[in-house]
Amino acid sequence: MASVNNTTNTSTTSSYSYLQYKNKIGGLVSGMDIDSIMEKLMKAESAQMEKLQQQKQKYEWKRDAYREVNTALDSFQKGIFDNYGLKSSWNAKTVSASSSAVSATATSSANGTLNITEAKMSTAAQSITDFSTLGFTADSTIASLGLTSSEGSFLISAVDESGSLIEKKISYKATDKISDVMSKINASGVGVTALASKGSLSLTANVEGTVIVDGQDVGSIQITKDTEGLFAKLGVLKAGGEGDILTNKGPNVKKTIPGTNGYIVANGVKIDGTSNKYTVSGYQFTINQDIKAAQPEVRDENNDLIKAAVAADPAAKISSTTDTDKIVDKVKEFVETYNGLIKDLNTRVSEKKKVGYDPLTDAQKAEMKDPEIEKWEKAAKEGLLKGDSTLNTVLSNMRTTLSTYGNGSEDMLFKIGITTSKTYTDNGKLEIDEDKLRKALSDDPDIVSRIFTGDSSTGAEGVISKLRTTAQNAVSTIKNTAGSENSSSDLTYSLGKTITSLDDKITDWKDRLKDIEERYWNQFSAMESAIQKANSQSSIFSQG
pLDDT digits (tens, 9 = 90+) for 82-109: 999 998 888 888 898 999 999 998 877 7
Predicted model pTM: 0.67
Distance CA 35, CA 188 (A): 81
Of the candidates 183, 119, 181, 187, the residue with the CA atom closest to the CA atom of residue 154: 181
Average predicted confidence (pLDDT) for the chain: 88
- Whether 7 is covered by a domain: the verdict is no
Q: Tell whether 153 and 170 lie within a shared domain.
A: yes
- Whether 10 is covered by a domain: the verdict is no
Q: Tell whether 226 and 332 lie within a shared domain.
A: no
The last residue of one of the domains, among 440, 465, 485, is 485
For CA atoms 461, 464, 465, 466, the dihedral sign is positive
The last residue of one of the domains, among 444, 467, 485, is 485
- Whether 2 is covered by a domain: the verdict is no
For CA atoms 241, 243, 245, 248, the dihedral sign is negative
Residues ≥6 apart with Cβ < 8 Å to 478:
66, 67, 69, 70, 73, 390
Which H helix or E strand runs over 187?
helix 178-187
Q: Tell whether 368 and 475 lie within a shared domain.
A: yes
pLDDT digits (tens, 9 = 90+) for 326-345: 999 999 999 999 999 999 99
Checking if the pLDDT of 298 tops 90, the result is no
Q: How many domains does the chain have?
A: 4
The last residue of one of the domains, among 230, 257, 284, is 257
Of the candidates 406, 384, 404, 408, the residue with the CA atom closest to the CA atom of residue 396: 404
- Which class for 128: exposed (0-12), middle (13-18), buried (19 or more C-beta within 10 A)? middle
Q: Tell whether 481 and 356 lie within a shared domain.
A: yes
Range(s) of the domain holding residue 368: 70-86+325-485
- Whether 15 is covered by a domain: the verdict is no
Could you tell me the CATH number of the domain that includes residue 189? Answer: 2.60.40
Q: Give the distance from CA 213 to its chain's centroid.
A: 42
Q: Which amino acid is at 232?
A: A
- Whether 177 is covered by a domain: the verdict is yes
Q: Tell whether 79 and 177 lie within a shared domain.
A: no
The whole-number pLDDT of residue 382 equals 94
How long is the chain? 544
Q: Tell whether 345 and 477 lie within a shared domain.
A: yes
Asked if 226 contacts 234 with a C-beta cutoff of 8 angstroms, the reply is: no
pLDDT digits (tens, 9 = 90+) for 60-90: 999 999 999 999 999 999 999 999 999 888 8
Asked if 459 contacts 448 with a C-beta cutoff of 8 angstroms, the reply is: no
Q: Tell whether 196 and 234 lie within a shared domain.
A: yes
Residue range 365-376: mean pLDDT, rounded? 94
- Whether 6 is covered by a domain: the verdict is no
